[in-house]
Amino acid sequence: MTTTTQESTYQEWSERARASLMNTYGRYPLAIARSQGCRLYDTEGRAYVDLLAGIAVNSLGHCPERLTQALLEQTRHLDHISNLFFQEPQIRLAEKLLATCHADKVFLCNSGAEANEGAIKLARRYMRKVRGRDVHEIVTLEGSFHGRTLATLTATGQEGRIKEGFGPLPEGFRTTPFNDPKALQETVSDATAAVMIEVVQGEGGVRPLSREFLDVLLALRQRHGFLLIVDEVQTGLCRTGRFWAHQLFDLRPDIFTTAKALANGLPMGAVLATDEVARGFEPGTHATTFGGGPLVAAVACEVLDIMQEDRLAERAEQLGARAKKALLEVADRHPEQIRAVRVQGLMIGVELAFPGQEVWQALLDKGFILNLTQGCVLRLLPPLVIEEQDLLDFAKALEEVLDATAQ
Ligand SMILES: Cc1ncc(COP(=O)(O)O)c(C=O)c1O
């Protein structure tokens, strides 16, 4: 057997990584040297169709020239100065974000977990200091994913490695079954400070909340006076066919968070809130050194401009519909192997009826990068600029793999 350059580079890099990096990731068997547009290239130059986009991050594809230019331009005249000063790119970004939604104020940070941590802090402080109610309970849903800090992993409605060994976990978090209005009714009370949801659960297997569940949630919010937090870290910024996924259901969350695609790969997160709830923060109550720095803010401004100029929410909706049609046809021909196809814009989940590792590997061998969540859901979060043909080619490849698996 001959060893390819890709294999030997992969061996070398994985050994160096094992020796130098903490052992936190189960990595794919790939050594990636270059990324461009909707393709990743391994060290031998083999191209892969990127249907994962850095897990919903590179919505504009890889290395888009306008972002390179925006970053270069910004590095030439104002880099990091700290949040002790006013600086224009941060303000411009906040204004652009607010123009997309009902929120009135923004707090800029560096990641999804940090944004959710900020949202939890804001909800609790608002309840105590503004509403004068000593409540702190945060209710989240089973199957949710909210991050890896102590508070956000506690909020996450999944058990196992994510939580084991990290105790004591912070108090004041409760989870309730997914899409179960009756259970929600029994979980929330006057002690609830906020309910935090993903409108479509990402890590949970691309699962949308039902209108019925949301209606009950809104009625309970009215009755108990808790806040609604929507985690849009994965669903936000045009991915689901609207600028924000909560707009699919005409929700007006008191607080919502975002991150991933905001600066197309530079670390950035944001907490958005109504004016009323934003009163929960005052100088000295919450901060972060890097949040909204001029370099990332300049890039994020460009990202938002491009998303609007190129109408990427509409594009996500249209391409999602075409992908759904193609995948449902595959599912119709393979009813024993595909349990469900769930599509919301360019958030796509194909639930297999069996553990999906081999199918995932076979798709990778055919040149398609995606991920497997919950053990059996093939999850696609492609760049929003993906070509329709790439999605149709994926459906064809999936069919071939399923045919081969059935034999
Ligand atoms: C819905 C959701 N919330 C929060 C997070 C955490 O974001 P980060 O990894 O940037 O901390 C993720 C990451 O996958 C996510 O999908």
pLDDT of residue 4 exceeding 80, the answer is no
Q: Using alpha carbons, list the distances in angstroms from residue 99 to 94, 202, 263.
A: 9, 25, 17
Whether residues 235 and 319 fall in one domain: no
Residues with C-beta less than 6 Å from any ligand 1 atom: 55, 111-113, 116, 145-147, 198, 202-203, 231, 233-234, 259
Task: Among 277, 309, 341, give the residue marking a domain's end.
Answer: 309
What are 161-183's pLDDT values in tens digits? 999 999 999 999 999 999 999 99
What are 315-347's pLDDT values in tens digits? 999 999 999 999 999 999 999 999 999 999 999
Nearest CA to ligand 1 atom 4: 146
Strand boundaries in 27-135, DSSP class E: 32-36, 39-42, 47-50, 105-109
What are 114-148's pLDDT values in tens digits? 999 999 999 999 999 999 999 999 999 999 999 99
Whether residues 45 and 162 fall in one domain: no
Range of the domain at 397: 5-63+311-406
Task: Among 278, 309, 340, give the residue marking a domain's end.
Answer: 309
**Confidence bin at 1 (pLDDT 50/70/90):** very low
Whether residues 256 and 112 fall in one domain: yes
Whether residues 26 and 84 fall in one domain: no
* H or E segment to which residue 270 belongs: strand 269-273
Task: Among 309, 341, 367, give the residue marking a domain's end.
Answer: 309
Whether residues 69 and 182 fall in one domain: yes
User: What are the backbone dihedrals phi and psi of residue 173, each rounded to the nearest 5 degrees, phi first?
Assistant: -120, 140
Residue 324 near residue 241 (C-beta atoms within 8 A): no
Ligand 1 atom with least separation from CA of 198 = 1
Q: What mean pLDDT, rounded, does the chain reach?
A: 97
Residue 81 near residue 116 (C-beta atoms within 8 A): no
pLDDT of residue 25 exceeding 90, the answer is yes
Whether residues 129 and 176 fall in one domain: yes
Q: What is the mean pLDDT of residues 40-48?
A: 96
Nearest CA to ligand 1 atom 8: 112
User: What are the backbone dihedrals phi and psi of residue 341, each rounded to the nearest 5 degrees, phi first?
Assistant: -120, 120
Whether residues 132 and 185 fall in one domain: yes
pLDDT of residue 3 exceeding 70, the answer is no
Ligand 1 pocket test target in 58, 117, 146, 258 with most atoms within 8 Å of CB: 146
Alpha carbon distance 216, 382 (integer Å): 33
What are 79-104's pLDDT values in tens digits? 999 999 999 999 999 999 999 999 99
In the chain, the N- to C-terminal Cα span, in Å, equals 27
CATH code of residue 46: 3.90.1150.10
Give the residue among 69, 48, 30 at the shortest CA–CA distance from 383: 48
Whether residues 142 and 283 fall in one domain: yes
Q: Using alpha carbons, list the distances in angstroms from residue 260 to 110, 166, 198, 205, 235.
A: 10, 25, 14, 18, 9
Whether residues 151 and 168 fall in one domain: yes
What are 199-246's pLDDT values in tens digits? 999 988 899 999 999 999 999 999 999 999 999 999 999 999 999 999
CATH code of residue 135: 3.40.640.10
